[in-house]
Structure 1
Amino acid sequence: ITITPSVDENALPSGHNKFEEAIRKDLINYVNFELQRTNQIAKNVLADPSVYSIDSEAMQKELSLIRKYVTDSNEALNKVLPADQLDSNTFFLFVIDKKIVLGGSNRFRFFEFEAHTPEKQVIWDALKKHGLFASLEEHDKGLNEIVRYLIDEFEKYVKTLSAAEKEKDKNMREMMAAWNAYKKNEISKLIFGMTLYKINILNKYDDWLRTAFAN
């Protein structure tokens, strides 16, 4: 899968360090990656003759939901965030919109745990045939690639910082503590990568939510 560009690369945001810029771009690219792989699975299922073997209202409902996901995910993939908005609150709204659409693909996985009507069984067989489980492996592979990328970017970023800058605020101190633990093999690559994600995305998202609701 080729990841669809999701951020205008022709301009760089101001007031935003390069590492935070990189992590935000990478998050958007990862969401796009997830949208693309599930979009393709849905298209393949719709192109499979087996899903038209049952002519019933229930099957038409299932197929309509899959078609809707294809349409919604196509629209989400076509949305691009201007680079000058990467460091604004628009970033969070942009990601939320894409993740809401991506949430529509969760029902593909729920088929495994549902009581299967004949219609659902046909859909479930088609999902497996067209790589649902293989795509879950791609998901894990993509996550590992993101973690490696974040660590590489953080290592480059750290080299540009003075001793004072490494201690400038709580977030930076937490990142440096996690970095030192990672370098000493006290925490895994995945744990360190998720720590970077938590500090730079989740914590700032929580701050944004508090500000938004306060207003």
Structure 2
Amino acid sequence: MSGQAGPEPIRVLVVDDHAVVRQGMKAFLSLQADMEVVGEAGDAQAALDFLARAAVRGVMPNVVLMDLVMPRLDGVSGIQAIKKLHPGVEVVAMTSFSETERVRAALAAGASGYLLKDAEADEVATAIRAATAGETHLDTAVARKITRTLTGVSDGLSSLSQREREVLVLVADGYSNRDIADALTISERTARTHVSSILLKIGVTSRTQAALWAIRQGMTPAQ
């Protein structure tokens, strides 16, 4: 009699220079039925070393939960290196700070999400699952702060470039990042960068919210 195996858990690498933070994250994530912590690292260089060894073994993490302020190699530089060397690995950035430039830098480097360290545990899990699904998850407070700095009191529409408007219409039509890349003849990473920028500029934290926003703006018919 053969049983049917369930889906494999999301493999997570926790990167933070504070051991107590790593232990707390590992303890919480171990309680998630669909997640498995496969390792930890005290800085971004140690994370890169771990990924190099994992690549040799052929068992890579799906998501790296990455602190941004660390010694030796900071988180933003680490994200850039991870996305260059291991483009299939997603990164969710975490920090105690909410400076807009750091958020932009992390997302531009290829992060799939951005959380503050005081985020609720469930939000951390949500961000990891979103990254695995090829989506972007942003801390609500951070998204609002960036929206204020980018657009002031405007509705955000005027801040979107022509390309971003094209991408937003496709998001509203249910296109994935891969579908958007194919439709616009751009790379999947470029598509994701556009989506991240759109979420920040219009002040929402998910693709679903962006799609509803586009419909309200009359950019695409309601489904």
Q: TM-score, normalised by structure 2?
A: 0.26
Give the number of the structure with larger relative contact order, counting CA–CA contacts within 8 Å between residues 6 or more apart.
Answer: 1
Task: Pick the structure with more helix per residue.
Answer: 1
Q: Which has the higher strand share?
A: 2
Per the normalisation by structure 1, the TM-score is 0.26
